[in-house]
Structure 1
Amino acid sequence: MSASAASLAWPAALALAAAMGIGRFAFTPVWPLMAQEAGLSLAQGSWMASANYAGYLLGALAAIAWPVRRLRATLAASLAAVAALTLAMPLLDSVAGWSALRLAAGYASASAFICVAAWRSVPAGDPREASVSAVTYAGVGAGIALTGLACLALMAWGAGANQTWVALGGLTLALSVAAWPRLSRQSPPARTSAAAMPPARLPRGIGALSLHYGVFGVGYIIPATFLPAMAKEILPDPAIFGWAWPLFGLAAALSCLLVPRLARGRDDRQVWRCAQLLMAAGMLAVALWHHIAAVILAALLVGGTFMVITQAGMLTARRLSGPAAPRAAAIMTAAFAAGQILGPLLASWAARWGADLPQVLEAGAVLLAASAWALGKVTTDGAGAGHNAIGPQGRSHSN
C-alpha cells in the first residue's frame, strides 16, 4: 500500500466511515440502550431498522431517476444530513419519529455512498487505483468498528441512548469536517460537457450484475440480522457480546486492505465470487454447528467479505459503465437495498412454514453459492470490464 495511494484515499474513507459506519449502522449498537430505557419491543426495533433500509433504497432509486451530476455538492449535503439527523435522535421520543429520522438517514447515506462509489481520486487505469479503492472502502468497516468502540466506552461511562446519539452525531460531524478540505481540493470527478447532456447509456450486463448484487443483499442481511441473536443465546453476557460489532467492523476494514494482496492477478468478478462463497460457508457453518466457535467463524467470514463484495461489485460496475458510473452505482445500490429488505421478509415467511433459523441460514448459503456460480456466466461489454482492479499489481488495460 503506497503512501501516495493512502493519502489520496483517506478523505473518501472518512466520508464513508461517517455516512455508512454511523448513518447506516449506528442503530445496531445503540438499539439495546433504546430498548432498555424506553421499554421498546423487538418488533418496534425492527420497524426502525426497516425504515433505515427503506430510506437507503429510496436514496438509491432517486439517484437512478435523477442521476447525480454534481458529486461534490451532493456528497457535502449528504454528509451534513447524516450528522444532523443523528444529532436529532434525542429530540424525539416516539417510534414513529425515530423511524422517520432513520428513514431520512438511510436516504442520505445511500446518496453519500453513491457519490463516493462514482468518485475518482485517480484517473482510470492509474496503477494506484486498486490501492486507493481498498483504503476508501475500508472506511466503512473502520466506521463500524469506531461506532462500536464508542458505544462500548459510552456504556462503560454510564451514558444513555440520548447521550450516545449526540456523541455519534458529533463523531459524524468531526469525520466529515476532517475529510472535506482534502476532498474539495481533489480534481472534480467525472464531468459532463454540458448540463443538458442526456444521461450516459448503461452498458449491457449491468442488469445481471445488479441482480446478483441484490442476491448478495438478501444473503448478507440474513446472518447480519440473526447471528447476534444466536450469539446472545450462547453468550448472554453483554460485556462480552458487545465486542461483536467492533470485531465485525474490524474484519470488514482489514479485509479491504488484505484482499488486494491475496487476490493478486484476479479480476473483480473473481474476487466477488470467491468472497461470496466464503460468506456462504460461514452461514453454513453456524447453521450446522450451534457453538460459539461457529458463531465467531461466521461473524469473521461475513464481516470479512461483505465489504470485499461491495468493493468488487462497485468497481465492476464503474469500470463497465464509464460516464454512466454514477447511475450504475445507484442501480447496484438499489438492488442491494431491495435485497436486504427482502431477506428478513423471506426468513419470516419461511418461519411461518415451519423452518427454523439454521434452515433459513442453510437456504441463504445455498442462494449465495448459486449466485456466485451464475455470476461467472454473466456477459458484459464496455471498456475495462473484467480487468484487474482489486489486486495491487492489477492495472486496467482499457482506455
Structure 2
Amino acid sequence: MTGKKLEPSAAAAALIGLVALASAMGIGRFSLTPILPLMQQDAGLTLTAGGWLATGNYVGYLIGALICIMLTPAPAFAIRWGLLSVGLFTLAMGLCGSETVWLALRFLAGVASAFVLVGTSAWAMPILARHGREEWSGHVFSGVGIGIAFAGLFGLAAGLDAWGSRATWIALGVVALLLAGLLWRKLGADVAALSRPAAEQRPALPRPALVAAACYATFGFGYIIPATFLPALARGYIDDPAMFGLIWPVFGVAAAASTVVSAWLFRGLAPRQLWVRAKWVLAAGVLAPGLWLNLSTLLISAVCVGGTFVVITMAGIKEALRLGGAPASLAVGVMTAAFGAGQIAGPLTVSLFGRSDHAFAWASVIAAASLVAGNIALLFLGRGSDGEVKA
C-alpha cells in the first residue's frame, strides 16, 4: 500500500489540524487564562501563584519541544497521545486542590501541547503542500484562536453561572478527551513520516533558520504577558463579570479570524514579511494596557495581540520549513523550543515585579521592547536563503 493511498484529502487534513490545535492550545495551553479569575475567587489563588502555574505550563511546553527535537516522534503518534494527555491533565486540575499538584499538571499539559503543535504542523502542512493547498495552513492555525475563544466563552459562562473553577476544569477536560477520541482513528497512518530521512542523514539547520528561531523567542516573551494576564487584569479593573469575561473571547475571536483575514489581505507577502509587520501591531497591543489601563486599552490589546500571535506563529513555522533544509518535525521543534524559552520569561517577569503596583506595566514595557528588538534583528540579520532581506 502506498503512502498516497493512506493520505487524507487536503480538506480532511485542514479540519483535523484545526480541531487538534483548538484542543491542545485552547485547552492545554491557554485554559488557565480565563479560569484564573475563578481560581482567585474560589481557591484564593494569588496573581503571583497564577504566574507560577503559567510558567510551569510554559516550561513543560519548552521541554515538550526539546523532546520533539531529540526524538522527532511520528506526527500522528505525537498528536494522538498529546491530545489524550491534554484531556487527562486538564480533567485532573478539577479533581485536586493542591497548588503543587496544579503546577505539575500544568507542566505536563504544556509538554503534551508541544507534542500536538509540532505533530500537527509536521503532519498537516506537508499534506496540504502535496495537494497544492499550502494557503489552507491558515485554516489549520485558526484552530488556535477557535480553541481560545471556546475556552474563553466557557470561562465567561462559568463566571456568570457561578460554576466554580473546579467544575470548569472538569468540563474542559471532558471536552478535550472527547476531541482526542474523535480524532484518534481519523489521523490514519503516519504518512508524513514515511518519507523522513534516516537520523544519520538528517541535515543541520542553517544559520538563517537559527537567527529566525532567536527572533521567534522574543515573540514568545513579548506576547505571553497579555496572553496570560489580560482577563485577571480586566477583573481587577471591571466589576461586571459579563464585561471582564469578554476580554478572552475577544482575544480568541481575533486570533481565529486573523489567519483567514491575513491570507486574504496579505497573500502576496513572504512569510518573513508578514511576520515582521504583524509583530509591530503585536508590540502596540502589548504596550497599550501597560501605559493606560482602561476598557479601551484592554480591548485594543485583546484585538492586537489575539489578532497577530497566531499569524506570527503560522508565518514563523512556514519560514522555518522554508529555511530549515531538515525534516519538518526538527524545523518546527526548534522554533517551538525557542518560542517556549522566550515565553517562560514573561510570567516570571510579572512575578519579579509582583510587589510593585506597576508590575504589569513594567513587564509590558519590557515585553514590547523585546518585540521591537526581535523585529530589528529580523530586518538586519535575518536574510533568507536567497540572500535578500525579507522585510
Task: State TM-score, norm by structure 1.
Answer: 0.86
Equivalences for residues 1-399 of structure 1 within 5 A:
6-68=11-73, 70-119=74-123, 120=125, 122=127, 124=129, 126-131=131-136, 133-184=137-188, 188-192=191-195, 197-349=200-352, 357-380=360-383
Q: 1:189 to 1:289 in 2, by over 3 A?
A: same
List structure 1 runs of 4+ shifted beyond 6 angstroms.
350-355, 383-387
Q: Deviations over 1:326-349 (max 9, x none)?
A: 112111111111111112334555
Unmatched runs of 5 consecutive residues or more in structure 1: 388-399
Equivalent-residue separation in structure 2 for 1:237 and 1:385 (angstroms): 51
Could you tell me whether the CA contact under 8 Å between 2:158 and 2:168 is conserved in 1?
Answer: yes
Q: Deviations over 1:230-265 (max 9, x none)?
A: 433432222211111111111100001111111121
Could you tell me whether the CA contact under 8 Å between 1:204 and 1:380 is conserved in 2?
Answer: no
Alpha-carbon offset, residue 179 of structure 1:
3.1
Question: Any idea what SS the aligned residue of 2:81 has?
Answer: helix
- The answer to which of 27-36 and 208-217 deviates more is 27-36
Equivalent-residue separation in structure 1 for 2:359 and 2:85 (angstroms): 40
Equivalent-residue separation in structure 2 for 1:11 and 1:342 (angstroms): 32
Alpha-carbon offset, residue 121 of structure 1:
5.2
Alpha-carbon offset, residue 204 of structure 1:
2.8
Equivalent-residue separation in structure 1 for 2:386 and 2:131 (angstroms): 15
- The answer to which of 29-38 and 240-249 deviates more is 29-38
Q: 1:354 to 1:320 in 2, by over 3 A?
A: same
Equivalent-residue separation in structure 1 for 2:65 and 2:94 (angstroms): 27
Could you tell me whether the CA contact under 8 Å between 1:320 and 1:383 is conserved in 2?
Answer: no
Counterpart residue type for residue 227 of structure 2: A
Q: 1:330 to 1:194 in 2, by over 3 A?
A: closer
Alpha-carbon offset, residue 320 of structure 1:
2.0
Counterpart residue type for residue 288 of structure 2: A
Equivalent-residue separation in structure 1 for 2:264 and 2:383 (angstroms): 26
Q: Deviations over 1:283-323 (max 9, x none)?
A: 33334433321221121001100101001001110122244
Counterpart residue type for residue 171 of structure 2: A
Could you tell me whether the CA contact under 8 Å between 1:267 and 1:386 is conserved in 2?
Answer: no
Question: Any idea what SS the aligned residue of 1:269 has?
Answer: helix
Task: State TM-score, norm by structure 2.
Answer: 0.88
Alpha-carbon offset, residue 379 of structure 1:
4.5
Q: 1:321 to 1:23 in 2, by over 3 A?
A: same
Counterpart residue type for residue 280 of structure 1: A
Equivalent-residue separation in structure 1 for 2:197 and 2:281 (angstroms): 45
Alpha-carbon offset, residue 36 of structure 1:
2.7
Alpha-carbon offset, residue 207 of structure 1:
1.2
Equivalent-residue separation in structure 2 for 1:154 and 1:64 (angstroms): 38
Q: 1:79 to 1:220 in 2, by over 3 A?
A: same
Alpha-carbon offset, residue 372 of structure 1:
1.4
Question: Any idea what SS the aligned residue of 1:236 has?
Answer: coil
Q: 1:151 to 1:73 in 2, by over 3 A?
A: same
Q: 1:195 to 1:29 in 2, by over 3 A?
A: same
Equivalent-residue separation in structure 2 for 1:326 and 1:384 (angstroms): 25
Equivalent-residue separation in structure 2 for 1:27 and 1:94 (angstroms): 15
Alpha-carbon offset, residue 115 of structure 1:
0.7
Could you tell me whether the CA contact under 8 Å between 2:288 and 2:297 is conserved in 1?
Answer: yes
Q: Deviations over 1:62-94 (max 9, x none)?
A: 1222222x1112221111111111122233221
- The answer to which of 236-245 and 319-328 deviates more is 319-328
Higher helix share: 2
Alpha-carbon offset, residue 205 of structure 1:
1.3
Alpha-carbon offset, residue 116 of structure 1:
1.0
Equivalent-residue separation in structure 2 for 1:291 and 1:42 (angstroms): 19
Could you tell me whether the CA contact under 8 Å between 1:15 and 1:79 is conserved in 2?
Answer: yes
Q: 1:197 to 1:385 in 2, by over 3 A?
A: farther
Q: 1:137 to 1:383 in 2, by over 3 A?
A: farther
Could you tell me whether the CA contact under 8 Å between 2:224 and 2:343 is conserved in 1?
Answer: yes
Could you tell me whether the CA contact under 8 Å between 1:13 and 1:138 is conserved in 2?
Answer: yes
Number of aligned residues = 381
- The answer to which of 26-35 and 107-116 deviates more is 26-35
Equivalent-residue separation in structure 2 for 1:384 and 1:143 (angstroms): 38
Unmatched runs of 5 consecutive residues or more in structure 2: 1-8
Percent of matched pairs sharing the same residue: 43
Equivalent-residue separation in structure 2 for 1:155 and 1:349 (angstroms): 29
Question: Any idea what SS the aligned residue of 1:91 has?
Answer: coil
Equivalent-residue separation in structure 1 for 2:86 and 2:269 (angstroms): 36
Counterpart residue type for residue 98 of structure 2: S
Alpha-carbon offset, residue 158 of structure 1:
3.7
Q: Deviations over 1:12-62 (max 9, x none)?
A: 110011111101111122223333333333333222222111111111111
